């Protein structure tokens, strides 16, 4: 442990910063009327130590239960309860420094109206998510491109790992475009402060859990964006990270004790082998390396078994939802967490916000592996309460092989069929988040060999299959790139920045193929909004035959037939073969082309194409 502590001291020495004397309290504020009315305040002084752990709060309804001191005397933890009858106001917290009483102001607010209806309302299969990297979408305020005092002053759009200047105002400026495209929900990679030396464009190295990065516009602008979304009937997803934070976070630079992050005798990265967590033959060493190893050298791995650190993360997660009006939560690097802690934090969120949607990133290989981390039907000693996951299996072992492999017993579109047929493992398959690409995956257009017809099939599948479809910004206009390295899949959205020759918001400079795919997404996404069969209906599919895959979305009011031909030749479609779903219908309207087919006749679908047909009587 001495060696580990020495290495930790060396690690902390990477930065020496001068901070004016002040005392901070986390959470920075709270609200009356919360179900979580027993909280733990972490009080931190940036200079003078606290003389004792004595803390006094003389505010009606607030009771101090217990205080805690640490080896680092700059911290005190204070357990308080907030009675139901407590009124909002400014709370004075009194503590001792150098034998003198210090008064600290702490705000207790009134909860916003509309819980479960205007915020924390959940995201479901009727929604269409757009995943946006704010730095790469649109620069709406050039005055915040560089912020004095922040470490990363890089601003160069020609360098993929420098900042490019996108911000929340840029998103606000283009809400009309997003809504017209059919998007109902926005999900940003983390927008909390990342005051790191470099690589701050992605947002996953958080250095302050209570501040929206000033280069994005700060807390007030994020609240403004949230309000505008809700006024439009749209929703907001927060990307929350339980697993780690940035190395310049104050809890890394100046921890209350040396057990707030996982320390190793030397830098130890996670094995990325999730199998160790459920493998009945796994060693303890492999389990520990998977869960306690660091995701990256600049991302200390949080020790979630430390009750104070755990409280900090749980309370902050609730704070973000309440402060910013969040509707759903995506949990980053979910498989690397202490899963018992993750269950505890998830439950705290669901107790406070019963309609909230929570889905996790489980970037694993194998349907069973993925199901282990979500609410499932598997009999295992550990049971996850995570509502759902990003469905990487339907990507890796579904739509990608369907469009890139020749048809075979276990290849081509049969892979998609096999993967979907394993939905019995999951409690909530309709809550799985479907994707073609994201900030960590190659652009789908590149994966399918820049074949525009395959891209169209991909989007028709995305918008009609079970689950919640997720777009990655720019893929609607055929943005491309392989992740070698990952910066190549994080290019700027055309038209979001001054001087762009191409503008995807207006259509200026787009090729015919780019316009056609954008229009397909727009038309089908908006059709989808009004389709009860797709948004809440059942799924029935037929065993693929010679590259032809047929599935139906249906309910009592509507039937939608989806025909995917992945073969290199045209195929005959005899509607009578699917009479379990087609019987009683006379025509089939292609919702993209508007072309009508006679259900009593045999139709021919061209090679490598897809139809989305609404059946009509």
Cβ pair 476, 507 in contact under 8 A: no
126-143 burial, b if ≥16 CB within 10 A, otherwise e?
bbbbbbbbbbbbbbbbee
* Residue at token pair 């915040």: 144
Distance CA 417, CA 127 (A): 24
Which among 292, 323, 361, 476 is annotated as catalytic?
361
Pairing of strands 433-435, 548-554: unpaired
Distance CA 228, CA 456 (A): 31
Identify the CA nearest to 393 among candidates 411, 371, 360, 424. Answer: 371
* Rg, Å, the chain Cα set: 26
Cβ pair 370, 362 in contact under 8 A: yes
Supply φ then ψ for residue 21, to 5 degrees.
Answer: -65, 130
To the query of whether residue 332 is one of the catalytic residues in this protein, the response is yes
Which among 193, 239, 322, 332 is annotated as catalytic?
332
To the query of whether residue 266 is one of the catalytic residues in this protein, the response is no
- The pair of structure tokens assigned to 96 is 């001792």
Cβ pair 558, 578 in contact under 8 A: no
Pairing of strands 388-389, 357-360: parallel
* Residue at token pair 């992605």: 202
In which order are the strands placed within the sheet that holds 38-45? 23-26, 38-45, 75-82, 62-69
- The pair of structure tokens assigned to 312 is 């900090």
Q: What own/partner pairs with CB < 8 Å and gap ≥ 24 does 344-348 have?
A: 344/310, 344/314, 345/242, 345/310, 345/313, 345/314, 345/317, 346/385, 346/386, 346/387, 347/385, 348/36, 348/314, 348/317, 348/318
Active site members: 332, 361
């Amino acid at each position: 442990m001495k060696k580990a502590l020495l290495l930790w001291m060396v690690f902390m020495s990477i930065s020496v910063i001068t901070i004016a004397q002040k005392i901070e309290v986390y959470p920075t504020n709270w609200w009356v009327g919360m179900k979580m009315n027993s909280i733990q305040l972490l009080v931190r002084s940036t200079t003078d130590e606290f003389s004792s752990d004595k803390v006094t709060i003389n505010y009606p309804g607030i009771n101090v239960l217990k205080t805690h001191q640490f080896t680092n005397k700059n911290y005190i933890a204070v357990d308080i309860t907030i009675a139901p009858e407590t009124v909002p106001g400014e709370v004075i917290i009194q503590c001792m420094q150098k034998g003198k009483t210090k008064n600290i102001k702490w705000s207790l607010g009134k909860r916003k109206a509309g819980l479960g209806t205007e915020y924390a309302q959940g995201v479901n299969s009727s929604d269409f998510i757009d995943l946006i990297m704010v730095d790469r979408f649109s620069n709406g305020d050039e005055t915040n491109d560089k912020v004095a005092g922040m470490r990363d002053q890089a601003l160069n759009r020609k360098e993929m790992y420098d900042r490019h200047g996108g911000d929340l105002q840029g998103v606000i400026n283009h809400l009309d475009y997003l809504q017209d495209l059919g998007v109902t929900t926005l999900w940003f990679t983390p927008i909390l402060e990342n005051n790191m030396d470099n690589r701050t464009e992605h947002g996953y190295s958080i250095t302050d859990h209570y501040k929206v990065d000033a280069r994005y516009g700060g807390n007030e602008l994020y609240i403004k964006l949230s309000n505008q979304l809700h006024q439009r009937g749209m929703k907001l997803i927060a990307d929350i990270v339980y697993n780690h934070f940035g190395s310049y976070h104050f809890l890394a630079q100046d921890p209350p004790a040396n057990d707030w992050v996982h320390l190793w005798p030397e830098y130890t990265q996670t094995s990325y082998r999730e199998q160790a967590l459920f493998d009945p033959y796994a060693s303890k060493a492999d389990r520990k390396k998977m869960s306690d190893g660091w995701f990256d050298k600049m991302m200390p791995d949080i020790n979630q078994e430390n009750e104070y650190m755990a409280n900090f993360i749980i309370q902050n997660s609730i704070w973000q939802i309440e402060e910013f009006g969040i509707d759903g939560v995506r949990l980053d690097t979910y498989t690397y967490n202490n899963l018992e802690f993750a269950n505890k934090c998830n439950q705290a969120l669901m107790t406070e916000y019963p309609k909230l949607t929570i889905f996790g990133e489980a970037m694993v290989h194998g349907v069973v592996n993925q199901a282990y981390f979500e609410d499932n039907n598997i009999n295992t000693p550990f049971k996850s309460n995570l509502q759902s996951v990003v469905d990487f299996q339907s990507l890796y072992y579904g739509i990608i092989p369907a469009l890139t492999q020749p048809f075979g017993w276990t290849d081509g579109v049969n892979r998609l069929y096999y993967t979907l047929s394993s939905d019995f493992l999951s409690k909530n398959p309709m809550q799985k988040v479907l994707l073609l690409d994201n900030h960590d995956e190659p652009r789908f257009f590149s994966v399918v060999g820049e074949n525009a017809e395959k891209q169209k099939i991909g989007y028709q599948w995305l918008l009609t299959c079970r689950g919640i479809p997720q777009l990655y910004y720019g893929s609607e206009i055929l943005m491309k790139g392989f992740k070698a390295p990952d910066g190549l899949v994080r290019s700027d959205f055309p038209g979001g920045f001054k001087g762009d020759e191409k503008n995807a918001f207006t259509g200026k400079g787009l090729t015919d193929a780019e316009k056609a795919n954008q229009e397909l997404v727009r038309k089908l996404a908006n059709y989808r909004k009004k389709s009860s069969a797709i948004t809440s209906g059942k799924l029935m599919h037929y065993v693929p035959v010679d590259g032809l895959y047929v599935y139906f979305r249906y309910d009592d009011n509507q039937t939608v037939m989806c025909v995917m031909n992945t073969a290199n030749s045209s195929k005959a479609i005899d509607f009578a073969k699917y009479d379990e779903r087609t019987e009683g219908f006379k025509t089939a309207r292609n919702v993209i082309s508007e072309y009508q087919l006679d259900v009593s006749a045999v139709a021919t679908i061209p090679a490598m194409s897809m139809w989305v047909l609404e059946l009509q009587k």
